Structure 1
Amino acid sequence: MASSFVIACVGKPSAGKSSFLNAVTDASAKVGNFPFTTIEPNEGIAYYPILCPCEKLGVSERCKPRHGWCSGGRRYVPVRLLDVAGLVPGASEGKGLGNQFLDDLRHADVLIHVVDASGTTDASGRETRGYDPIDDIQWLRQEVEAWIWGNLDRKWSGVVRRHVAVKATPVETLHAQLAGYGTPREVVQRALDRLPRDLVNEFSRWEAQTELRQFVHAFLDERFPTIVALNKIDMPDSDKNISAIMKRYHSTSKNSVLVDGVRLDNIVLTSALGECFLRKMHKQSFIHYEPGTDDFSTELPSLKPLDEKTRRRLETIRDLVLFRYGSTGVQEAIVRAVDALGYIPVFPVKSLATFGAPQQGPAFRDCVLVKPGTTVREFARKLHNQALDRSYAGAETIGGIQLGEADVIVPGKNNVIKYTTTNE
């Protein structure tokens, strides 16, 4: 059973998106199969690290995930990553690959915006020197906003007339217009909740150029939570550009207000090429490196000797990236993206005695990430496509505690679940 959400990797051409995708999806040495039935050419699988209950419950030796892996109680759960076509200014008007980019976004739940912090690519992704990337976050957000607003604007007068004729609620009317963007009703409601109540009450009087624009702005904050990966942090001009960008968004660290769809604590410093090289060296047994950590080892007896050129490059990555920033940042970007959605890991088991099959065997085979607010019965339905729901007889968690159908799943409390059916 796979977690169904999608992380989209976005940005202008040559910002480092492909390197970022390679850096977070190269796990072929760890895993032989994926939980997704179809992986398109521009998709990959990244891994979200969580604490697995296996160690606390004393079954870490038997913890054998069906997908991903677990090491010392740290479990790596596969998540789907989408590499979206590069965006350039004017994409909402059809420039570049704008239409492809914006269509790809329909499938995304959260965005990682890869920004070239080095200033070596201009707004269109062409190689240059001295480009100031301070506006890159803002213009990408504006392109997406213009695209959605433009689609609504073209038919807005007719939408309002139908709204009045059928006496629909604002959320019903807007949800009907936004369903094509993969938008659940609750997202539309949360966007409306961001607006003043008196404005929502005057929905039938909304003008496309004013109130509708205000709604679209709020809608984007809810529909596309965004993590910014300031990439190429080891390049010469990156420091000054990073400082300027951080200064622009500094005010967001003191409140929950988003600026250009981001907050300071959702900006991550990354070196995608550094991570790619470290993983390559680890895979070839020249170093021992754990993704997300602040160093690597060259001293283990099993490792191959390094030539001087490779050793110098590794030391440069160590000095300019790992020691300076604590990691290459790419795994942290994935963690922030999943955390932005608030998803909860749930472990369905057939036995609370073995945490696997009723007989002694592999434990905690499955882990599914679910939306916050998911109930015990809703998760049963998600697991087996109505089959378990039809024969549902009850559920319990660790300690034999019985769970109610409407109980909301909470991490660390009732997220290890055994279901019983009328067939048992």
Structure 2
Amino acid sequence: MPRDPLIGLVGKPSSGKSTTLNRPNYGACVNGKRSVPIELLDVAGLVPGAHEGKGLGNKFLDDLRHADALIHVVDVSGTTDAEGKATRGYDPSVDVEWLRGEIVRWILGNLMEKWGSIKRRHVAVKASPVDTLQSQFSGYGSTSSIVARCLDKLQLKEPLEDWSNETILKVVNTFTDEKFPTVLALNKIDHPDADRNIAKIAKQQPADKIVLCSAISEVFLRRLAKQGYIRYKEGSEYLDTREDLIEQGDPDGGGLKEMDDKLKQRIENLKDMVLYRFGSTGVVQVLTRAAEMLGLVPVFPVKNIHTYGSGASGSTAVFRDCVLVKKGSTVADVARKVMGDAPIAFIEGDGGRRVAEDQVVSVGKNDILSFHVGR
């Protein structure tokens, strides 16, 4: 059965990684907008020298291999050094570079250690470069299609057995980018020194890799909403207090609790320094960007293809269920994910048309499916 997409959350100690991870693991549909849970892996042990086994380096790299994409939580306040210890004036752009460097050195070291025998076997069995490299990269969760994309990008002319060290490094760098696409979650954006550090990183990294966030603000707002002090939708620029709702004409203030002056001031500060300035806390946007980077496709399995109902007794809900599948997945992949080993007689798509198992699912195409069990 195809496994769920897995996003690895990495970051040095005190970067705010655990706070970013502190998100609900259930889905919801609010005002027609669906939130779908996605599996996150807390990858511990990130310190310089991880590829040499320093810190929890071996565990870090072993966990890393299972991830389909990474979210690198970077402390842009500059108040923690490379090992997460308190300091002032640290340059967080260094963290961005050495995470990728650790991964590259890990893969490169493993490859070069055996390169002589790899070349000899490649020539002896007359293998293709894709097959030879996939046999070496499979331990990192690679597939032949990932390796093929790497080689297509590089357009190398020399046969594999003649590759120089420089060429091998290019291959490893390209493979790292393909296998571990990374979103940079620039955290603690409300710190006074954050602007300078964000500007430096923005000059060095592609804009589509960067998301600005304040994980502690998201946790704080969700806690207040749960306790009944505010009305807040995760990922939103806005929140409502009791006073706001009374001003809008609700004499009961939405049933929200009164806040003391200290809490009111904290809310106003958070609005000014995070929500109004950056548009959101950024935590939801980090996950959304990672899902977009993976090209994840939401698919809605339904019992009744005409009413879009789940078939549950007395339920009028439509599109109750939603699963995320990787780009390029087929209808058969979705069937195995949803139905397991149950025998499928036929599959219906939107409008009641029959759908073949080998058809690819994408947004707006074969993304509403009804599976009929039988032989």
TM (norm. structure 2) is: 0.91
Matched, 1:385 2:340: yes
Cα distance in 1 between the residues matched to 2:2 and 2:328: 18
Task: Using the TM superposition, name which of 176-185 and 140-149 deviates more.
Answer: 176-185
Which AA in structure 2 matches 1:240? R
Which AA in structure 2 matches 1:384? M
Which AA in structure 1 matches 2:196? K
In structure 1, the residue matched to 2:230 is: 287
After superposition, where does 1:352-391 map in structure 2 within 5 Å? 352-355=305-308, 356-357=310-311, 361=315, 362-388=317-343
- Contact in 2 for aligned 1:346/1:367 (Cα 8 Å): yes
Matched, 1:236 2:192: yes
In structure 1, the residue matched to 2:372 is: 420
**Equivalent of 1:296 in 239, 245, 250:** 239
In structure 1, the residue matched to 2:162 is: 205
Cα distance in 1 between the residues matched to 2:119 and 2:260: 69
Task: Using the TM superposition, name which of 285-294 and 83-92 deviates more.
Answer: 83-92
Cα distance in 1 between the residues matched to 2:139 and 2:4: 18
- Contact in 2 for aligned 1:294/1:322 (Cα 8 Å): yes
Cα distance in 1 between the residues matched to 2:227 and 2:374: 52
**Equivalent of 1:226 in 182, 187, 191:** 182
The aligned length equals 363
Cα distance in 2 between the residues matched to 1:206 and 1:247: 33
In structure 2, the residue matched to 1:306 is: 259
- Contact in 2 for aligned 1:227/1:266 (Cα 8 Å): yes
**Equivalent of 1:270 in 213, 217, 226:** 213
Cα distance in 1 between the residues matched to 2:351 and 2:36: 25
Cα distance in 2 between the residues matched to 1:328 and 1:313: 15
Cα distance in 2 between the residues matched to 1:323 and 1:383: 41
**Which deviations, in whole Å up to 9, do the C-alpha atoms of 1:201-240 show, x marking residues without a partner?**
x112224x32221111000111011000111000011111
Cα distance in 1 between the residues matched to 2:139 and 2:349: 38
Q: Which runs of 5+ in 1 are unaligned?
A: 28-44, 46-66, 250-262
Task: Using the TM superposition, name which of 98-107 and 267-276 deviates more.
Answer: 98-107
Q: Which runs of 5+ in 2 are unaligned?
A: 243-252
Structure 1 residue matching 2:202: 3-state secondary structure = helix
Change (3 A) 1:2 1:197: closer
Cα distance in 1 between the residues matched to 2:373 and 2:13: 52
Structure 2 residue matching 1:123: 3-state secondary structure = coil
Which AA in structure 2 matches 1:98? G
Which AA in structure 2 matches 1:21? L
Please provide the CA RMSD for this pair. Answer: 1.9
- Contact in 1 for aligned 2:229/2:241 (Cα 8 Å): yes
Which AA in structure 1 matches 2:360? V
Structure 1 residue matching 2:118: 3-state secondary structure = helix
Matched, 1:323 2:276: yes
**Which deviations, in whole Å up to 9, do the C-alpha atoms of 1:376-401 show, x marking residues without a partner?**
2332233333433xxx4432222222
Change (3 A) 1:170 1:3: closer
Structure 1 residue matching 2:301: 3-state secondary structure = strand
Matched, 1:164 2:116: no
Cα distance in 2 between the residues matched to 1:248 and 1:419: 48
Task: Using the TM superposition, name which of 212-221 and 305-314 deviates more.
Answer: 305-314
In structure 1, the residue matched to 2:248 is: none
Cα distance in 2 between the residues matched to 1:278 and 1:360: 35
Percent identical: 51
In structure 2, the residue matched to 1:6 is: 6
In structure 2, the residue matched to 1:260 is: none
**Equivalent of 2:145 in 186, 203, 210:** 186
